[in-house]
Amino acid sequence: MKPASNTDTSRVEGNAPPEVKHSLLGFLVQSSRVSRSIAKPFRGFEAEFGSRLQLTEASVLLKAEEPGKSEGRVVVEVVVDEDMLNGGGSVHGGCIAMMIDICSTMPIYVLGASTSGYGVFGVSQSLNIVYHSPGLLGDKLRLVSTTLAVGSRALSSRCEVWNVTRHRLVASAVHIKMVPSEPKASESAKL
């Protein structure tokens, strides 16, 4: 479900326009749907965990390494809950990967929507993750994501997952996405 049109975006820091912040909040708060297999309301894995992510910053900043170019930056926080843990008692790698997938997509949208008025989320081509240390029950994690390069078709970003409670890096990742092409007339007729 999308946030109400009167959703307060003032708690989200950063210089991204309020309508862009509002769209990101809508991206995190996904509606339930009726499952085809069980014919009951079902939110799904991504919607369940995505709704726990708290957007704290959405910004467009000048890139220090490339004068004249900008980068999108998004910061999201979450507290580790029991259903996020693996059998060893730390955050499951798949759960971290899903959160990185969501969060590393957001700065790509922020940069496009804030600078050209057209933000895209794209589809994943690759997600390369390095795990550095565990996140434990009750730990507060901060996911800091920034764009690397945003072109007309290829999009890339990086994400670092920091354990705020224990002051250490949990995971780092590079996410490569693409804007899919529209199906050709002959292909869409077959569908």
Whether 155 is covered by a domain: the verdict is yes
Report the distance separating Cα 21 and Cα 24, nearest Å.
Answer: 5
How remote is the C-alpha of 11 from its chain's centroid? 18
Amino acid in position 187: E
Report the distance separating Cα 121 and Cα 28, nearest Å.
Answer: 13
Residue by residue, pLDDT tens for the chain (191 residues) are: 344 455 678 889 999 999 999 999 888 876 545 556 666 665 666 777 778 899 999 999 999 888 899 999 999 999 999 999 999 999 999 999 999 999 999 999 999 999 888 888 889 999 999 999 999 999 999 999 999 998 888 999 999 999 999 999 999 999 999 988 887 776 555 55
Residue-level pLDDT at 182:
80
Whether 76 is covered by a domain: the verdict is yes
In angstroms, what is the C-alpha Rg of the chain?
A: 17
Which CA distances in Å does 77 have to 21, 40, 141?
Answer: 15, 30, 6
What range does the domain containing 90 cover?
Answer: 54-190
Whether 81 is covered by a domain: the verdict is yes
Whether 89 is covered by a domain: the verdict is yes
| CB-based contacts of 121, cutoff 8 Å, min separation 6 | 27, 105, 108, 109, 177
Whether 84 is covered by a domain: the verdict is yes
Report the distance separating Cα 78 and Cα 61, nearest Å.
Answer: 24
Report the distance separating Cα 129 and Cα 108, nearest Å.
Answer: 18
Whether 96 is covered by a domain: the verdict is yes
How would you label 103-125 residue by residue, b for 16+ Cβ within 10 Å and e otherwise?
Answer: bbbbbbbbbbbbeeeebbebeee
Report the distance separating Cα 157 and Cα 176, nearest Å.
Answer: 7
Whether 66 is covered by a domain: the verdict is yes
> Which CATH number characterizes residue 78's domain?
3.10.129.10
Which CA distances in Å does 99 have to 5, 52, 53, 130, 135?
Answer: 25, 10, 8, 14, 13
Whether 108 is covered by a domain: the verdict is yes
CB 112 within 8 A of CB 118: yes
Residue-level pLDDT at 190:
58
For the residues of 50-67, what is the DSSP string, one character each? HTT-EEEEEEEEE-SSST
Q: How many domains does the chain have?
A: 1
